[in-house]
Structures are given as C-alpha cells and as structure tokens.
Amino acid sequence: MAILVTGGAGYIGSHTCVELLEAGYEIVVVDNYTNSSPEALNRVMEITGRTFPVYELDLRDRGALAEVFEAHSIDAVIHFAGLKAVGESVRSPLWYYEMNMNSTLVLCEVMGIYGVRRLVFSSSATVYGASGDMPLAEDSPVEAASPYGRTKQMIEQILQDLAVSDMRWSICILRYFNPVGAHKSGRIGENPAGIPNNLMPYLSQVAAGRLEQLSVYGSDYPTPDGTGIRDYIHVVDLALGHIRALGQIMDCAGLDIYNLGTGRGASVLEMIASFEQATGAKVPYRFAARRPGDIAVSCADVRKARYGLGWTASRGLSEMCEDTWRWQANNPDGYVSHEYRFMTDL
C-alpha cells in the first residue's frame, strides 16, 4: 500500500512519515522545501531504518506531479503541503491563496486523472468562528478570520463539492488543534524559520536561552488565570490520527470531518508551569497586550474522532514539554547544518 505524502518534510508530515513506515506502509514524499529541510527526511529514514522515494517539487507543477503518479502506484494521498502562518497570510494574502488553493486544485486534478480518489487533508481549528461555544464540535459554525484560515475553509468546501460530484472519492478532513511536541528520539521536531510565532517553539527557545523572555499575550481573558486557553496535542498523537483516517478512507467512500485534539485546554501560564516542571528549565516571562486576532479559548470536542476513527490522544502536557525540550536541546539550530551556517555567516 503506497501513500503519497505531500509536505512530508514539514513538522507534522515528517512525524506522520515515521508512523506510516512503522505501521508498514510504503510512502512517497513530495515537498518543495519552502518551509522545511531535506534533512528532516534523512532523519525519518534514520529513525525507521527505511528508505523511500522523495521528490523535490512544487505541487502547482502539474507535469512534475503527474510524473510521480506515473512512476508509482499510489493508493491514497495525505496532503500536508501548504503555507501556515496566520500573520504572513494577512500581509501576503495573494501568495497564500496562490500556494494553498492552486496546489490543492492541481493535486486533486492529477489524482483524478490517475484514478486515485482517497485523500486525507490537513485542515485547522482556525476555520471555526470566534463566537462558537466550547468545546468546538465539527458542526460548530465555520468562519475563518484570516486569509490562511480562509484557504483551509475554501479547500474544505472544494473537497465537499468534489465528493458530491463523484461518489468514488473518499476524503477525510482533519481539523488539527495546537500541535506541539516532537518524536521521542529528539531527531525530528518543529523547525520554525526565524523568530517563532507560536507558543511552544518560542517558550522552548526562551528556556534554551536563545530568546530573552516570553511575552504572555493577554492577562485579562475571561479564563481562570486570565491567559488564553488552547487544546495542545502531541504531534505523535496527531500523526497516529492520520493512520486511523487512512484506515477509514480505505474502507468507505464519501467525506468526513474530524477534530484532532485532546479535548483538554491549557492556559499559557499552565504551559509555562508544565514546561518548567517537566524539564527543570526556567522560562522568564512578562505580561503583554493581547495579540490581535487571538481568542480566549479554543478546545476540541473529540467525541466524533473517538467513535468514528477509534482514535484518542494519549500523550499529556508533560510528555509534550519533555519531547519538545529534547528536540530543542539536541538541535539548537534546528536542521541547519554547521556547513550551511558557516556559509551564511560569511
């Protein structure tokens, strides 16, 4: 059984490649490395002791993608590839629509030509509107608040239209909450370019002494300690959710949507405390103004994934923090090799 993984060199993609290989799947990876490094895939091979074909290509390149489908007998696709930074999408909306929408349209078109109609798509909790009651169920109102979120919302709609147009399609849309953590080996993890935007990579770089202190955005939210609450999920639990989703699309046609979260929220202050407790490192912080666009609470209703996919997240906050820290401590420069750093220093 061969699975095409788009964006397989990225954070969630690389962890899912490990779990796919360990579950016995063959994989083929395509990535343009716009936000990742080929080194991540070398390390997937190192962790699993398996090799697999890797193609450096942009999904929008129809001809290059078709050659991959010519060369391999693909049974299903997991589509991670895309741009994901909310702030960047506000500054460069056309770039986000171009990259995320067109790459998905080309992918689905080529899949259809080659008769591959099984797809798992990476969506996001960011599609939910700000006014929804907590926890967020899959039928909660959808109203993304950024160009990035709207690409996910629009792609979900396109996939629903596709499933209606041709009953042979089998599609699983997964809405991730806040992925954090890293593989136990400490060899793969989240590798943000420049100064991180998200809490966990920022917090771990503060703990490592690379950044001076964490700004806690907002201390006056209507939450028990006044800081924002999110549903953080370990990236390996998330990766395992994809294995379950694949099982589902192998068996039945149509389209389904599932939240992937833990169902438990943690505030920013709780995350800092968990990190310090799990790692022994100190995380200096100060309170700052609310970050524009943030909401007070985001937390998943996970019942549908439990009953529909037979999946639940099992890793708790301390494991998320320990694994993030192992990755951060062992790879202070992420995947950037010393040779490369030397060249850029010149």
Residue with Cβ nearer ligand WQD (8 or 82): 82
> Which has the closest alpha carbon to 254: 301, 290, 205, 308?
308
116-145 binders of ligand NAD (CB under 6 A): 122, 124
Neighbour tally for 129: CB within 10 Å: 14
Which of ligand WQD, ligand NAD, none binds 150 (CB below 5-8 Å, type-dependent)?
Answer: none
Q: Which does 230 bind (CB under 5 to 8 A by kind): ligand WQD, ligand NAD, none?
A: ligand WQD
Closer to ligand WQD by CB, 86 or 249: give it.
Answer: 86
Q: How many residues bind ligand NAD (CB under 6 A)?
A: 26
Distance CA 236, CA 234 (A): 5
Question: Which of ligand WQD, ligand NAD, none does residue 58 bind to, with CB < 5 to 8 Å depending on kind?
Answer: ligand NAD
Q: What's the Cα-to-Cα distance from 36 to each of 148, 187, 258, 319, rounded to whole Å?
A: 18, 14, 26, 24
Residues 288-307 that bind ligand WQD (CB under 6 A): 291, 294, 298
Q: Which of positions 82-101 make contact with ligand NAD (CB under 6 A)? A: 82-84, 99
Tell me which residue of 138, 184, 140 sits closest to 22, measured CA to CA: 184
Q: Does 40 bind ligand WQD (CB under 6 A)?
A: no
Dist CA 174 CA 259 (whole Å)? 6
206 is a site residue for ligand WQD (CB under 6 A): no
Binding residues for ligand WQD restricted to 84-143, rule: CB under 6 A: 84, 86, 124, 126
Q: 3-state class of 188 per DSSP?
A: coil
DSSP letter for 293, please: T
Q: Judged by CB under 6 A, which of 11, 202, 258, 335 binds ligand WQD?
A: 202
The catalytic residues are 148
Smallest gap, in angstroms, from Cβ of residue 34 to ligand NAD? 4
Would you count residue 81 as binding ligand NAD (CB under 6 A)?
Answer: yes
For 333, the 3-state DSSP assignment is coil
- Residue 34: name the closest of 52, 9, 14, 13 by CA: 9
| Footprint of ligand NAD on 179-198 (CB under 6 A) | 179
Tokens of 222: 């209507």
* One of 3, 25, 32, 43 touching ligand NAD (CB under 6 A): 32
234 binds ligand WQD (CB under 6 A): no
Tokens of 168: 């042979």
Is residue 228 a contact point for ligand WQD (CB under 6 A)? yes
Interaction of residue 215 with ligand WQD, rule CB under 6 A: yes
Looking up tokens 């967020």 gives 136
Contact status, residue 10 vs residue 33, Cβ threshold 8 Å: no
